[in-house]
Amino acid sequence: MKRYKFLEHTADVKFQAFGKTIEDAFKNSAFALKETICDETEIKEKKKKTITIKQKDLESLLYGFLEEILYLLDAENFIISSITKIKIDKKFNLKATILGDKASDYEFTNPVKAVTYNDMFVRTEKEPDRRNPNKKVEFWRTQVVLDV
Amino acid sequence: MTEIRKISKNIYEIPKEGIMKVPAKIFASESILENIKKDKSLEQIKNVACLPGIINYAIALPDAHQGYGFPIGGVAAFDVDKGIISPGGVGYDINCSVRLLKTNLTKKDVLEKQKEVVDALYRKIPSGVGRGSKYNISRSELNKLLESGAKYFVDKGLGEKEDYLHMEEEGCLKDARADRVSDRAIKRGIGQLGTLGAGNHFLEVQFVDEIFDEKVAKVLGIKKGQVTIMIHCGSRGLGHQVASDYIKLMEDEYGFANLPDRELINAPIKSKLGKDYYAAMCAAANFAFANKQLITHWIREELKYIFPKIKIDVVYDICHNIAKFEEHVIDGKSREVCIHRKGATRAFGPGRKEIPEDYRKIGQPVLIPGSMGTASYLLIGTKKAEELTFGSTVHGAGRISSRSKALKELRGEEIKAELKERGIEVQAGSIKSLAEEAPEAYKDIDDVVEVVHDLGISKKVARMKPMAVVKG
């Protein structure tokens, strides 16, 4: 399964991310954001951050999760590299452990101003199983527009 | 299919339908309207027309393109008692704005030292991540700055009184309250003072290549061949966080189930949350004014090494993304309304008390930056704008193709080489951002300016062409 893809948008950056679980879809959304922030710059895993977020629905949880990545960049000079743990429960609690590095050690300019709710969704869809086309498997799809 | 009626040359209307409270008006030429139709701008301006307390009509200007919540190039006025205030009607980059500086240099002076100028400015003024602020400020001082705007730095000797006198709102929105700005927003902004940011933000050294109105240009101290400097940036992470914070608070308070776009979340102007957002938005706007004041100071400092006799004055500074309380004539009577301008510029005509005294007879200066490598314009506000568009005009060229498309089609390095061939030196934090901001991704600035000039919602004064560009 593709991790994420960027879509056409007049002024901003729009992407969709995918995952077999909601956790994977959130993770891949974070990687799409990371690519928008620093392109393909390889980031080392020298520092660790723990994120905990409580929200009211899946969309606001995704919004909060991505916003936290922007916050860490601006406020704590931290740029994400990978996500080692992520757990989302039915009450819209998210807990994640993120690895990354000191942003000022790299050469990139983050064009992302904010995560927006515009056209945002987090949902499950079904697609034919590759091994057994008569069977359908469920996967998660998110969609996000970033203000750049 | 949306019905669009032609009212007169360059004015179109989407009649009131469904839950729209007022019609929507689109100010555009036929060809520009065709471009606007290609994305969701019209759908978005119709959504704006549904908001409580909206007065007369929702407006899309010739630079309109798809945004979130409101379209970019969108203007709406709300009744102070029954109306709303919306963070999505202002944008995440609160007071994303433009400042124009004039110098006593001529085009020739800069041409001789073009590379030196662009390198010096690029070194001195940090653009993005990893090149954070060179100005340390304490929390308590930042609070003062949030309530005093550009004046904060002038009082510290980094500028002159004339600087802030020549800004919209004299570089300070008086209703700002630092205690309405969250800790998170402060933490995002405190390390970013004096930084340009990336995206469409830039710093440009230009020369005046044409004067359209000698009389007005003279009052503004602008003449042909003169070197000007334009700064385009906003309230950085602080402003973005203020918007996010209040969107969340408003959702928690009012819910969003009935909104066609979650970014249209709003609060009544008179509610506590509405007032708090406004106070925080004003504080973020002041951060942007102060930010540009610090950058102005650094430009003065840096260029003095290259041109010891240089003198730099502020022509004007205008807001692009803002909500404000202003007096407007509605149904023949003057009253206060809450104006949202998202990717739009105020364009008051002569006589308004908000205009600096030395400009009051001619009207308010309007600054319209072009896309990278193209001309920028200096215009003057008009009474016609006050009649037609709540004293508003365009803020730029407006985008046409998507950024990802621009990326595929145009390579940063090629653009840099092409601009150099045309005599424009560029320094950018990222080559990719050059491709994203390539002139081809925008509508033709000349067409957009012709339409507003033709409509009379602002009049051409001068055109400036770039010589050196610093980008995030």
pLDDT digits (tens, 9 = 90+) for B119-137: 999 999 987 665 577 889 9
Mutate to test the interface with B, among A113, A120, A145, A147 (most CBs of B within 10 A): A113
A121 touches chain B (CB under 8 A): no
Q: Cα separation of A115 and A98, whole Å?
A: 19
Q: Which of A40-44, A110-114, B110-114, B323-327 has the lowest mean pLDDT?
A: A110-114
**What does the pLDDT read at residue B287?**
98
pLDDT (tens digit per residue) in A79-136: 999 999 999 999 999 999 999 999 989 888 788 999 999 999 999 999 888 888 889 9
Tell me which residues of chain B, numbers 63 to 92, contact chain A at a CB-CB cutoff of 8 Å.
65-69, 72, 91-92
Please indicate whether, in this complex, the C-beta atoms of A117 and B263 are within 8 angstroms of each other: yes
**Residue A112, helix vs strand vs coil:** coil
B201 catalytic per annotation: no
Residue numbers of the domain that contains A131: 4-147
Q: Say what the pTM is.
A: 0.95
User: How much is the ipTM here?
Assistant: 0.92
Mean pLDDT across A9-24? 92
CB contact under 8 A, B191 and A75: yes
Closest Cα in chain A to B87 = A116
CATH topology of domain B5-80+91-471: tRNA-splicing ligase RtcB (3.90.1860)
B29-86 pLDDT, tens digit per residue, is 999 999 999 889 999 999 999 999 999 999 999 999 999 999 999 999 999 999 999 9
- What proportion of chain B, given as a percentage, has pLDDT over 70? 97
The confidence score (pLDDT) of residue B129 equals 66
By CA distance, what is A71's nearest residue in B?
A: B188
Distance from CA of B107 to the nearest CA of A (A): 30
Task: Label each residue of chain B as H, E or C.
Answer: CCCCEEEECCEEEECCCCCCCCCEEEECCHHHHHHHCCCCHHHHHHHHCCCCCECCCEEEEEEEEEEECEEEEEEEEEECCCCEECHHHCCCCCCCEEEEEEEEEEHHHHHHCHHHHHHHHHHHCCCCCCCCCCCCCCHHHHHHHHHHCHHHHHHCCCCCHHHHHCCHHHHCCCCCCHHHCCHHHHHHHCCCCCCCCCCCCEEEEEEEEEECCHHHHHHHCCCCCEEEEEEEECCHHHHHHHHHHHHHHHHHHHCCCCCCCHHHCCEECCCHHHHHHHHHHHHHHHHHHHHHHHHHHHHHHHHHHHCCCCCEEEEEEEECEEEEEEEEEECCEEEEEEEEEECEEECECCCCCCCCHHHCCCCCEEEECCCCCCCEEEEECEHHHHHHCCCEEECCCCECCCHHHHHHHCCHHHHHHHHHHCCCEEEECCHHHHHHCCHHHECCHHHHHHHHHHHCCCEEEEEEEEEEEEEC
For residues B370-394, give the mean pLDDT.
94
The domain total for chain A is 1
Q: Determine the Cα–Cα distance for residues B472 and B162; give it in Å rounded to an integer.
A: 28
Residue A89: give its domain's CATH number.
Answer: 3.55.10.10
Q: What share of chain A is helix, strand, coil (3-state, %, to 5)?
A: 25, 45, 30
Interface contact flag, B436 A111, Cβ < 8 Å: yes
